[in-house]
Structure 1
Amino acid sequence: MDNSYNLKQLPTKEERHKLFGSVPPGPRTKPHEKEKMKDLQNTKQNFLFELDAVGISNVKHPIKIASSMTPETQTTIGTFYFASSISQDSKGTNMSRFTEQLHHYHSEGFTLSIESLKQFTRDLKDRLEQKDAEVKVEFPWFFERKAPYTDMAGMNHADAWIHVRYDEQDHHQVTVGLSGKVTTLCPCSKEISEYSAHNQRGNMKMEVELAEDFDESQTDWKVLLLEAAESNASARIHPVLKRPDEKMVTEQAYENPRFVEDMVRLVAADLYELDMIEKFYVQCVNEESIHLHDAVASITYDKRKK
């Protein structure tokens, strides 16, 4: 027997909901007023351990950023992580306060920067009534790139992040990072072959700890890290290349062969020479064009310990 409904004879929406499991509301006995509700998170007792970090992550929110490259002002999407430590006698934290503060900053015209995040963490510590606070935001950063011969322009992008920690001794720790792509040409392939050499796309990742007195208004750290990666590669990546441009890029790559080991050492040398950088991590991962595997190299260096 065909029990299908004629489209003109469907049950009401209420009946459809009941069909799929909805039930009438039950009795409401607990209070609706916030001041009458039990606050489990603020319970004070010996909960065995202090926690290093409690918070929320993967919070996506529109942000504004400034850049010393075109476009100088841009709106992008930030992915946020918020946290603070909590003491042994605290059960938990007030999760809603993280997003409350983010929305407040956004409504006040918040532009993402190291300085604005320093203030954000100070305010967050006070809002949470804890001894510290931290925020990390990751975002795509766009920049105009012109072809080397024709000057035809297009948009490239790199993934950037800022991580700021603040403690009750009024101390900030600032880490910034950038990951982007470059062209690398295999030195071994060039050396052993009668002609040609295979290329690969190199994925560069740089994370640096900045000095406390770093002035972002004078120096765009995003551009510094991008230049450290691209200027040491076999060639830069371009969104638009006409034939004369392609010839130049191909020949430049052939003239500047790079292993992954070469890349991390050359980028590290550039970062070592920058006084505003105290510690750095550099990684290069090459997507090999003649293998199914990737090639990888990395280096960590703390100038304060050398």
Structure 2
Amino acid sequence: MNQTDLNTKKQLPSKEERHKLFGSVDPGPRTKPVEKDKMPDLQNSREDFLFDLDAVGITNVKHPIRIHSSKKPEIQTTVGTFRFSSSISKGSKGTNMSRFTEQLEKYHNEGFAIDLFTLKKFTKELADRLEQKDAFIEVSYPWFFERKGPFSDLAGMNHADASMKVHYHQDTGYDIEVSLNGTITTLCPCSKEISEYSAHNQRGQVSMSVTLTDDFDENSIDWKSALLEAAESNASARIHPVLKRPDEKAVTEQAYENPRFVEDIVRLVSADLYELSYVEKFYVSCRNEESIHLHDAIAEITYDKTSE
């Protein structure tokens, strides 16, 4: 572009004029108060609003968090997706939504570590802040862990999806549920049985949700690692981020030696969870992304040890 071109550039209207060109209008008259104490508070209206609400709050709140792990990396920063709520009676119109995020920001400024002790403290304080009898928090996040090749010992990062739910009620205390969704390899027993050679295998997703006992000690037990082990140790083979040829040979042969249906997976994982003394109830599901079908295969188990 030469100097002549620069001198003949388009002359644009001001930014204010451009906004008006595209529909902006001048502010209208302001008649309502701007001071908080003079504004009506509809959420705190008191009347018979017909029904109690089991839960009201906010969800899909993304926020940075810190977590601890018994596997490397032992301290890591990740992104948590939160849900906050409490129940309200039919005598209240609504809740104070801003108090949920105010509480989150307070904990963030103090270095928000995602552990059960902190979440229990968080829910009790949240119930007090909301002036309600109960409060609920759920946080889901990707958990990363180091995995080495079985032969080469070369390391890489795997991840699983973890979540924690804590419900506090001033009369009954705490209910705690933790969940993990991990990825495994499964090899089809039927395919192995009927084929002259080879067998089809697939990637499986194992989802586990467990209710923990009141005396669960998170300082001595990493529930994430325990659930991951329950899933992976019962699979045909584990998933690896780095595999050299000797590793691939080892993993392939291991899968062939340990064929598993989805039905087998959920029963074997359930047996491991049943043997964990700090687990009261559990739910296990497995979904195989079939390699020779367009559909997936699923199996599920729910079990309550307290009802025995």
Give TM class, smaller chain.
over 0.9
TM-score normalised by structure 2 residue count? 0.97
- Superposed CA deviations along residues 56-99 of structure 1, whole A, max 9, x for unmatched, are 00000000000000000000000000000001100000000000
SS in 1 for 2:292: coil
5+ residue gaps in structure 1?
Answer: 1-5
Pick which of 24-33 and 250-259 moved more. 24-33
Distance 1:10 1:259 in 2: 69
Mapping of residues 29-178 of structure 1, within 5 Å:
29-169=31-171, 171-178=173-180
**Would you say how many aligned residue pairs link Structure 1 and Structure 2?**
301
- Identity over aligned residues, as a percent? 71
Q: Secondary structure at the match of 2:10?
A: helix
Q: Which runs of 5+ in 2 are unaligned?
A: 1-7
Q: Which residue of 1 aligns with 2:197?
A: 195
C-alpha separation in 2, matches of 1:212 and 1:32 = 48
1:284 is matched with which residue?
286
Matched residue, 1:261: 263
In structure 2, how many angstroms separate the alpha carbons of the residues matched to 1:292 and 1:7?
A: 59
- How far has the Cα of 1:7 moved from its partner? 5.4
- Post-superposition Cα deviations, 1:21-75, rounded to whole Å, max 9, x if no partner, equal 1000111111111111100000000000110000000000000000000000000
2:233 to 231, 234, 247: 231
Alignment of 1:182-221 (within 5 A): 182-221=184-223
Equivalent-residue separation in structure 2 for 1:297 and 1:74 (angstroms): 33
**1:217-245 CA distance string (max 9 Å, x none):** 11000000000000000000000000000
Quote the Cα distance in structure 2 between the aligned partners of 1:71 and 1:236. 19
Secondary structure at the counterpart of residue 9 of structure 1:
coil
Letter in 1 for 2:216: F
RMSD between aligned alpha carbons? 0.8
* Other structure's SS at 2:106 match: helix
What's the CA shift for 1:8? 2.1
Kindly provide the amino acid, as one letter, of the partner of residue 184 in structure 1: T
Task: Kindly provide the amino acid, as one letter, of the partner of residue 261 in structure 1.
Answer: E
Return the alpha-carbon distance in structure 2 between the equivalents of residues 45 and 135 of structure 1: 28
AA in 2 matched with 1:217: N
Choose the corresponding residue for 2:30, options 28, 31, 40. Answer: 28
The whole-number CA distance in structure 1 between the counterparts of 2:259 and 2:139 is 35
Letter in 2 for 1:191: E
Alignment deviations for residues 102-158 of structure 1 (CA, whole Å, 9 cap, x no partner): 000010112110110000000000000001000000000000000000000000000
TM-score, normalized by length of structure 1?
A: 0.97
Task: Write the distance in 2 (CA, Å) between the matches of 1:25 and 1:7.
Answer: 33
Tell me: CA distance 1:36–1:206, structure 2 relative to 1, closer, same or farther (3 Å).
same
Q: Which amino acid aligns with 1:39?
A: D
CA distance in 2, matches of 1:36, 1:213: 49
| Match of residue 3 from structure 1 | none
Say which SS state the counterpart of residue 8 (structure 1) adopts: coil
2: CA distance, partners of 1:10 / 1:288: 60
- Looking at structure 2, the residues matched to 158 and 261 of structure 1 have their Cα atoms a distance apart, in angstroms, of 21
Aligned mates of 1:292, 1:267 — CA distance in 2: 26
Kindly state the Cα deviation for residue 12 of structure 1 after the two structures are TM-superposed.
Answer: 1.7
d(CA) in 2 for partners of 1:170, 1:59 = 27
Deviation at 1:10, TM superposition (A): 2.1
